[in-house]
């Protein structure tokens, strides 16, 4: 049994556009949804790339150095990888954005490269020194003029300063003329007071004798100390048969030492009395509180006050020499006593 193939009847007006849900493939038919989504994504990618390239052309930004290897970014590449390339779509010419090359952290930065490269001026090669006399003169004469002008200014200022100093010196000399006269008068008055004090009171008669006694005492003490040291260190053989004759040099020198010790005590007492102000406790060696120079009496008493430590040192030396002679005398007496005992024993045998 044969069936007849049904024929499709098209209504007028439906040839350019099919109905929704139908699979019409005519020339004016609507494309499927997958094709529309793919075309929209490609067009969005193309527009995004164009905007990115325009922004890059308007405001070029130099790439920043990164700490590690930089990775090329990002969104346009990912979109291109997910969708079709511009070659698949005819009539579209996308512009790719300028990709920055990855820079390593160890490579030179832009600043170091710029510093390493010599600066090149836009005027061409460096100018060579000219040999034209006119140009040389034009270069030299301004400096010569400036130097001469500065030297003239310096000399004029120096001359003005010297004139000011000379004028000020003259003014100061006039102002100090009265002071200089007063200074000369004051020095003359002090000298007159010095000589009057030295010749007017009992200090003028006591001080010279005390100083002469002090000097003589020092010389005598030096000789006695040397004799005592020599006698104590040398063996003195008895010159006579008398028992007391070996002790005579020791006794004589001990008497002289005792005499110098007494003189030292007297000199010390005289100097202390001379340095006292009328028997009081205040010494004349003290400097006045008002800042004036000390008088002649005070100056001389300072010298006598310095003699007191010397007298104390002499007393200590005399005492040591006396003790040394006493020990040497005892040693000699002991040796003589031993010799006498040996002599008596030899006679008894």
Q: What is the DSSP string of 162-219?
A: HHHHHHHHHHHHHHHHHHHHHHHHHHHHHHHHHHHHHHHSTHHHHHHHHHHHHHHHHH
Q: What are the b/e assignments for 101-134, b being 16+ CB within 10 Å?
A: eebeeeeeeeeeeeeeeeeeeeeeeeeeeeeeee
Q: What is the pLDDT of residue 58?
A: 53
Q: What is the pLDDT of residue 48?
A: 62
Instruction: Specify the range with the lowest mean pLDDT, choosing from 78-92, 115-129, 136-150, 260-274.
Output: 78-92
Structure-token pair, residue 81: 């990888």
Residue 164 or 16, more confident: 164
Per-residue pLDDT at 105 exceeds 70: no
Q: Are 298 and 284 in contact (CB under 8 A)?
A: yes
Residue 330 or 82, more confident: 330
Burial class (CB in 10 A: 0-12, 13-18, 19+), 189: exposed
Burial class (CB in 10 A: 0-12, 13-18, 19+), 48: middle
Q: What is the pLDDT of residue 72?
A: 45
Kindly state the average pLDDT of the residues 175-187.
83
Kindly state the average pLDDT of the residues 58-86.
46
* Separation between Cα atoms, residue 180 and residue 166, nearest integer Å: 20
Which residues on adjacent β-strands are paired with residue 113?
none
Q: What is the pLDDT of residue 263?
A: 92
Per-residue pLDDT at 292 exceeds 60: no
All residues at 6 or more sequence positions from 64 whose CB lies less than 8 Å from its CB, including other chains: none
- pTM of whole model > 0.85? no
**What does pLDDT average to over the chain?**
69
3-class DSSP state for residue 226? Answer: helix
Q: Are 289 and 340 in contact (CB under 8 A)?
A: no
At residue 193 the predicted structure's pLDDT band, cuts being 50, 70 and 90, is: confident
Kindly state the average pLDDT of the residues 231-260.
74
Residue 114 or 197, more confident: 197
How far is the first Cα of the chain from the last one, in angstroms, to the nearest whole number? Answer: 200
Per-residue pLDDT at 245 exceeds 80: no
Q: What is the pLDDT of residue 277?
A: 52
Q: What is the pLDDT of residue 222?
A: 92
Per-residue pLDDT at 322 exceeds 60: yes
Residue 36 burial (CB count, 10 A): 11
All residues at 6 or more sequence positions from 271 whose CB lies less than 8 Å from its CB, including other chains: 210, 214, 304, 305, 307, 308, 311
* Separation between Cα atoms, residue 210 and residue 187, nearest integer Å: 29
Domain boundaries, the chain: 135-200, 201-348
Structure-token pair, residue 188: 């003359």
Q: Cα dist. 316→250, 259, 265, 313, 319 in Å?
A: 19, 14, 12, 5, 5
At residue 79 the predicted structure's pLDDT band, cuts being 50, 70 and 90, is: very low
Q: What is the pLDDT of residue 45?
A: 60
Residue 154 burial (CB count, 10 A): 10
* Separation between Cα atoms, residue 225 and residue 141, nearest integer Å: 91
């Amino acid at each position: 049994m044969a069936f007849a193939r049904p024929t499709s009847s098209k209504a007028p007006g439906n040839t350019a556009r099919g109905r929704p849900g139908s699979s019409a493939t005519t020339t004016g038919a609507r494309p499927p949804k997958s094709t529309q989504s793919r075309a929209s994504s490609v067009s969005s990618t193309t527009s995004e790339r164009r905007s990115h390239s325009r922004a890059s052309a308007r405001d070029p930004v130099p790439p920043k150095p990164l700490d590690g290897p930089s990775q090329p970014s990002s969104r346009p590449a990912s979109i291109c990888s997910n969708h079709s390339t511009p070659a698949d779509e005819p009539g579209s010419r996308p512009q790719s954005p300028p990709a920055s090359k990855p820079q390593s952290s160890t490579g030179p930065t832009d600043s170091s490269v710029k510093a390493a490269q010599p600066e090149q001026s836009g005027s061409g090669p460096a100018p060579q020194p000219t040999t034209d006399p006119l140009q040389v003169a034009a270069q030299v004469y301004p400096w010569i003029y400036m130097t001469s002008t500065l030297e003239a200014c310096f000399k004029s200022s120096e001359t003005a300063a010297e004139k000011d100093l000379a004028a000020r010196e003259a003014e100061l000399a006039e102002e100090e003329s009265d002071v200089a006269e007063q200074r000369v008068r004051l020095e003359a008055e002090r000298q007159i007071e010095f000589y009057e004090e030295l010749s007017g009171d009992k200090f003028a008669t006591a001080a010279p004798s005390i100083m002469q006694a002090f000097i003589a005492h020092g010389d005598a003490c030096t000789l006695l100390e040397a004799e005592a040291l020599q006698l104590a260190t040398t063996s003195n053989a008895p010159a006579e048969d008398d028992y007391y004759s070996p002790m005579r040099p020791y006794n004589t020198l001990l008497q002289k030492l005792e005499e110098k010790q007494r003189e030292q005590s007297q000199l010390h007492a005289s100097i202390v009395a001379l340095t006292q102000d009328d028997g009081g406790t205040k010494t004349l060696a003290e400097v006045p509180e008002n800042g004036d120079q000390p008088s002649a009496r005070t100056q001389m008493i300072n010298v006598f006050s310095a003699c007191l430590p010397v007298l104390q040192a002499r007393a200590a030396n005399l005492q040591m020499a006396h003790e040394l002679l006493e020990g040497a005398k005892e040693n000699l007496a002991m040796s003589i006593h031993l010799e006498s005992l040996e002599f008596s024993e030899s006679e008894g045998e």
